[in-house]
Structure 1
Amino acid sequence: MAEKEFKLPDVGEGVAEGELVNWLVAPGDTVTEDQPVAEVETDKALVEVPSPYNGTVKELHVEAGQMVPVGDVIVTYNVPEEGEDEPSESPAPAAEPEPDAGAEPEAESDRDTAPADDGAATEAAAESSGRVFAPPSARRLARELGVDIGAVDGSGPGGRVTEGDVRAHAESGGAADDGADGGSSGPKQVDIGSKTAAVSKTGDGESGGAAAAGATPSSVEAAGRDRTLAVPATREAAGEAGVDLDDVPTDESRDGEAFVTTEQVRQYAQAVKEAKAAESAAGADDPGAPAAPAETGNGAAASREPESVPYRGVRRTIGKQMAESKYTAPHVSHHDTAVVDELVDTRADLKARAEERDVKLSYMPFVMKALVAGLKEFPTLNSELREDDEEILLKKEYNLGIAVATDAGLMVPVVKHVDEKSILELAEEVNDLATRARERKVTREEMQGGTFTITNFGAIGGEYATPIINYPETAIMGLGAIDERPVAEHGEVRAAHTLPLSLSIDHRVIDGAEAGRFTNFVMERLENPSLLLLE
């Protein structure tokens, strides 16, 4: 056996370091090439880092939560030398444990290249060792479809399993067969290292933590596993609630490992909290009972000591970007209000037709179309100032960034070529990007190339704001909440649906008068949505 050191690779353009959020393997685990071994959060995204070797994990050099510079050694493998037999995996055909596919974007280093030897000997070796040759993308798809990747016949070189193989297996009923032996009733036994933890599945799909809500702390059943898979947002929720993930009951697993969701953490934390309250009440009735310990969670008796939260990853990138924009571009904000009764009626008329096509229709696609019309009329708002070259670049593409609030901070996925897409196409794409951004599945490439940004603070009830420009863009439009407000018309006041607008501009490039004319142009199309048919 030979020792091989694996250094943290460059997981994104311009990335110098990353936070190792979670290890997906432990010393002694057998790994295969391309198998994800760690989750790393950079200042751009959360990615899976795949193993470059087939072998056994000898040593992990970095603790979870530690910042690691690109190029530092993070893990050492024992790798078979040429002519040696590769280490065999456990007899179970299940694939290696991996986190939920909905948690992060695919790593740039994911690849579909085949092993060098694609002959019958390679197929036989893979078959005899129980290993599965599959890229992370295929493994991720298998998890999403509920397919045991070890049961999929690979059609790629050397028996490699492709995404098409996984889909074909699922369509042939393989996903149902894979879980048939477990059934849906009674506790499910999941092998976790040296322990076997029971994870119950109730009829209504709730975890055991909810069922224990009325119990005392001694009767709140803790799973007590050695290892639990969870996405970073769930781990953060567990930390905030003071809950040990290994104690949270779950009815889910990923490749033989228990998998816990954020909702299950909340249910379990609530169960523990209510149980402690019940115990305290029981102690109050019994003068001889020992005093209950002070609450250490988020309750009224929680510690008043300040809590230190790491400022890194995506949050730090957002901070740097906002600071650069605010201190580089002199911001000016222009506010106005559009009366959008006709837009409200138009959207209501089209909403049912959109639902027939399985599309949720919001006001955003109409606003996007109106903004693109305005950007074509006033091109300096779709521009970039290149100071070093002493020029203003007027862009001819209309790629609108949509700011989305997530657990990790504000992310801005970009809808490309808005001028070439219909209202329904935009609605479908916006919904998809926003959902994947919240689930940390949006890729770095999908957050690049924007020419103008929209931020919808009205979604949480606001009216006006002074949004910060998404530098190096030169303008951003903020949307308030569409609501009924008093409007004076022809000497009378009536209730009308209005949309507050807040436009921030880079005053080095755009004059205030031009910002006002641009806003009026956009408002005209929002107030008379039939004009959008001319675009």
Structure 2
Amino acid sequence: MRFVFNFPDLGEGLEEGTILEWFVSEGDNVKVGDSLVQMETDKVVADIPSPKSGTVIACHGNVGDVIHVGSPLVEIEIEGSGERAENIEKENTDTDKPIVVDAGLPVEAIVESEDGAAVVGTMELAGEGTVLAASEESFPKVLATPVARAMAKEMGIDINHVPGSGPSGRVKKEDILNFKSPSTEWSGKTSAIAPQIEDVTYKPLTQIRKTIAKNMLHSKHNAAHMSVFEEVEISLLKEVVTKYKPKFAAKDVKLTYLAFVVKAVAQALKQHPQLNSQIDTENNRMIFRNRYHIGIAVDAPDGLVVPVIRDADRLTIFEIAKAIGELAQKARERKLVLEDMKEGSFTITSFGSIGGIFATPVINFPQAGILGIGRILKTPIVKDDEIVVGNIMPVSLTVDHRIVDGGETTRFVKRVMEYLSDPVSLLMDD
């Protein structure tokens, strides 16, 4: 019996995905749970497992192709069903259309066989609503299709030097065929011939980059952005972090200022619920979130992602620091799953580690606000009528002015600053 497995709906507004790598080809035997194909969606890269055991008879799409939810991915001849398949095909002699079987119910559909290609990845789902964790497989130094790797080896080409034209710079067989190694001429000394440089380089948009572009415009067009800027003196916080960092490190947890910022924001949101809400204009109402799920913007290799620390107000500084480290690591390794990024109620972006001081962060719509943390500066300040060296943390808060007024915005910032100026109070809340 022929079973057609369609690209499943993972929820969270998923409409399409890009094929990064095929793990199977026509004629391969697979079992339930075996990885079939690696797909890149707007949020994660994930391996899609087989929902059936049998023989692969068709793979739909090549590496780099965009597949829409509900479109065929793989056709499988189910084990032990050959006789039934023959009967079905005999009953269908009036048409060349094969029978597609889903959940045991036969339906007619046109299926065209396409050659599968191959490359690298991590994703999804054997049943409705089920999301599998990202693959634990680490990425190779250079992403390439198996065909390209074999050709490079046969032709004596170092694949690490071949520019890739596939998704995320993956090397395809065309890249190997078109690659020209820099040559040298002997004239008593070696001189390298400079390779020709193209005026421009074209690379396809990744699903993540397309989603970032769409979400940024959606936020700017649908929220009334207003930003305020402040500076908070954190010398005491610096002492606390310096003191406890070795103790955290002994437990394989990195303590940073961000853990205290997350805790401060979560506590402040409890006192200023307007910042933990969203507006529902279609139903003429406000939606107040009763839990404090703090999103952390992470500068991942393929673009900005925002994993979420759930119930941050209930966590200790140690637990928050541990969660930040784990989520950041998963983001860098492209192992985040949808569950890691769901239901955020407020977002923090810490751009100061790269070098920025102030910014106007774009709201993670439909949230009410986003807090930006800038680079900490040693600055002269007045303390007890004397000029001393202070440690200043710049903060930038952007809010949706439809939801939050200026007065409440300022009071929220002030509350966050009070917590950061007195970090012991956050430890007491633990």
Question: TM-score normalised by the shorter chain: which range applies?
Answer: 0.7 to 0.9
Q: Pick from 263, 269, 272 the counterpart of residue 369 of structure 1.
A: 263
How far did 1:293 drift? 5.6
What corresponds to 1:29 in structure 2? 28
SS at match of 2:352: helix
What corresponds to 1:478 in structure 2? 372
Q: Which moved more, 1:59-68 or 1:456-465?
A: 59-68
Q: What CA distance in whole angstroms lies between the structure 2 residues aligned with 1:347 and 1:80?
A: 60
What corresponds to 2:18 in structure 1? 19
Q: Pick from 110, 119, 124 the counterpart of residue 107 of structure 1.
A: 124
In structure 2, the CA distance between the partners of 1:243 and 1:432, relative to structure 1 (3 Å rule), is farther
What corresponds to 1:250 in structure 2? none
RMSD over aligned Cα atoms: 3.7
Q: What CA distance in whole angstroms lies between the structure 2 residues aligned with 1:243 and 1:480?
A: 42
Amino acid aligned to 2:168: E
SS at match of 1:49: strand
Map 1:274-289 → 2, pairs under 5 A: 276=182, 280=184, 283=186, 285=188
SS at match of 2:203: coil
Contact 1:332 / 1:505 at 8 angstroms: preserved in 2?
Answer: yes
Q: What CA distance in whole angstroms lies between the structure 2 residues aligned with 1:508 and 1:23?
A: 47
What corresponds to 2:298 in structure 1? 404
Q: What CA distance in whole angstroms lies between the structure 2 residues aligned with 1:136 and 1:517?
A: 42
Contact 1:467 / 1:478 at 8 angstroms: preserved in 2?
Answer: yes
How far did 1:34 drift? 2.1
What corresponds to 1:315 in structure 2? 209
Map 1:150-299 → 2, pairs under 5 A: 236-239=168-171, 276=182, 280=184, 283=186, 285=188, 294-295=194-195
Deviations, residues 475-513 of structure 1 (Å, cap 9, x unaligned): 110000123223344555433211100000111111122
In structure 2, the CA distance between the partners of 1:495 and 1:329, relative to structure 1 (3 Å rule), is same
Contact 1:398 / 1:417 at 8 angstroms: preserved in 2?
Answer: yes
Q: What CA distance in whole angstroms lies between the structure 2 residues aligned with 1:377 and 1:77?
A: 56
Q: Greater RCO between the two (CA within 8 Å, min separation 6)?
A: 2
Task: Give yes or no for the alignment of 1:512 onto 2:401.
Answer: no
Amino acid aligned to 1:337: E
Contact 2:399 / 2:409 at 8 angstroms: preserved in 1?
Answer: yes
Contact 1:412 / 1:447 at 8 angstroms: preserved in 2?
Answer: yes
Amino acid aligned to 1:532: L
Task: Give yes or no for the alignment of 1:391 onto 2:408.
Answer: no
Matched positions, count: 381
What corresponds to 1:487 in structure 2? 381
Contact 1:283 / 1:292 at 8 angstroms: preserved in 2?
Answer: no
What corresponds to 1:451 in structure 2? 345
In structure 2, the CA distance between the partners of 1:395 and 1:33, relative to structure 1 (3 Å rule), is closer
In structure 2, the CA distance between the partners of 1:419 and 1:333, relative to structure 1 (3 Å rule), is same
Q: What CA distance in whole angstroms lies between the structure 2 residues aligned with 1:362 and 1:352?
A: 11
Q: What CA distance in whole angstroms lies between the structure 1 residues aligned with 2:16 and 2:158?
A: 40
How far did 1:357 drift? 2.0
Q: Which moved more, 1:52-61 or 1:427-436?
A: 52-61
SS at match of 1:403: strand
Amino acid aligned to 2:32: E
What corresponds to 1:58 in structure 2? 57
SS at match of 2:57: strand
Q: What CA distance in whole angstroms lies between the structure 1 residues aligned with 2:222 and 2:203?
A: 28
How far did 1:438 drift? 1.9
In structure 2, the CA distance between the partners of 1:51 and 1:420, relative to structure 1 (3 Å rule), is same
Gaps spanning 5+ residues in structure 2: where? 84-117, 139-145
How far did 1:294 drift? 4.5
Q: What CA distance in whole angstroms lies between the structure 2 residues aligned with 1:383 and 1:431?
A: 27
Q: What CA distance in whole angstroms lies between the structure 1 residues aligned with 2:258 and 2:400?
A: 24
Deviations, residues 409-433 of structure 1 (Å, cap 9, x unaligned): 1111110111111110111111111
Q: What CA distance in whole angstroms lies between the structure 2 residues aligned with 1:23 and 1:336?
A: 50
Q: What CA distance in whole angstroms lies between the structure 2 residues aligned with 1:136 and 1:416?
A: 19
Amino acid aligned to 1:107: E
Contact 1:35 / 1:136 at 8 angstroms: preserved in 2?
Answer: no
Amino acid aligned to 1:329: A
Deviations, residues 109-141 of structure 1 (Å, cap 9, x unaligned): 279x9xxxxxxxxxxxxxxxxxxxxx987x967
Gaps spanning 5+ residues in structure 1: where? 85-97, 114-134, 145-191, 200-217, 224-231, 247-268, 296-300
Contact 1:325 / 1:468 at 8 angstroms: preserved in 2?
Answer: yes
How far did 1:59 drift? 2.9
Q: TM-score, length-normalised on structure 2?
A: 0.77
More strand by share: 2
SS at match of 1:236: helix
In structure 2, the CA distance between the partners of 1:12 and 1:502, relative to structure 1 (3 Å rule), is same
Q: What CA distance in whole angstroms lies between the structure 2 residues aligned with 1:378 and 1:4?
A: 54
How far did 1:220 drift? 6.9
How far did 1:54 drift? 2.4
In structure 2, the CA distance between the partners of 1:17 and 1:364, relative to structure 1 (3 Å rule), is same
Contact 1:470 / 1:476 at 8 angstroms: preserved in 2?
Answer: yes
What corresponds to 1:249 in structure 2? none
Map 1:410-449 → 2, pairs under 5 A: 410-449=304-343
Contact 1:34 / 1:136 at 8 angstroms: preserved in 2?
Answer: no
Contact 1:361 / 1:427 at 8 angstroms: preserved in 2?
Answer: yes
SS at match of 2:353: helix
What corresponds to 2:88 in structure 1? none
